[in-house]
A and B are shown apart, each in its own frame.
Chain A
Amino acid sequence: MQSKPLTLTLLDALSIIVLGVATYLALFFAPTERVMGEVQRVFYFHIGTAWTALMGFILAAVFSVAYLATKNLKWDRYQVAAVEVSLVFFFLTIVLGSIWARPAWNTWWTWDPRLTTAAVTELIYIAYFMLRQGIDDPERRARFGAVYALIGGLSAPVTFFAIRLFRTIHPVVIGGANAEAQGGFAMTADMRVAFFFALFAFTIIFIDLYWNRIRLGDLQDKVEQLKLKVTM
Chain B
Amino acid sequence: MNITESRSASQPAPGSFLKAVSAVVWKDLQAEFRSRELFSAMLVFSLLIILIFNFALELDIKTRQSVTSGVLWATFAFAGTLGLNRSMAIEKDRGCMDGLLLAPVDRSAIYFGKVISNLAFMLIVEIIVLPVYSVLYNINLFQPGLLLVILLGSIGYAAVGTLLSAMSVQTRTRDILLPILLFPVVIPVILSAVKASGGYLEGLPFEEILSPLSLLIAYDIIFTAVAFMVFDNVVEE
When distances are taken between beta carbons in the complex, the residues of chain A under 8 Å from B223 are 151, 154-155
Contacting residue for A146 out of B177, B181, B186, B233, CB 8 A: B233
Q: How far is the CA of A134 from the CA of B223 in the complex (A)?
A: 24
Q: How far is the CA of A120 from the CA of B192 in the complex (A)?
A: 16
**A155→B185 contact, CB < 8 A:** yes
Interface size class of B (residues with CB under 8 A): 35 or more
The reply to whether the CB of B212 lies closer than 8 angstroms to some CB of chain A is yes
Q: Whose C-beta in chain A lies nearest to the C-beta of B186?
A: A155
How many A-B residue pairs have C-beta atoms within 8 angstroms? Tell me: 90
**B215→A131 contact, CB < 8 A:** no
Closest Cβ–Cβ distance, residue A159 to chain B (whole Å): 5
The reply to whether the CB of A56 lies closer than 8 angstroms to some CB of chain B is no
When distances are taken between beta carbons in the complex, the residues of chain B under 8 Å from A140 are 170
State whether A159 and B167 are in contact (beta carbons under 8 Å apart), knowing that A147-B233, A147-B234, A154-B222 are contacts in the complex: no
Interface residues of A (CB under 8 A from B): 68, 120, 123-124, 127, 130-131, 133-136, 140, 143-144, 146-148, 150-152, 154-155, 158-159, 161-163, 165
Q: A130-B177, A158-B188, A163-B191 are in contact. List 15 more A-B contacts (CB 8 A).
A: A123-B184, A127-B180, A130-B180, A130-B181, A134-B171, A134-B177, A143-B234, A144-B170, A147-B163, A148-B167, A151-B160, A155-B188, A158-B219, A161-B188, A165-B195
A-B contact pairs, 17 of them (CB 8 A): A68-B233, A124-B184, A130-B173, A134-B174, A143-B233, A148-B164, A150-B226, A151-B163, A151-B230, A152-B184, A155-B184, A159-B187, A159-B188, A159-B191, A161-B188, A162-B188, A162-B191
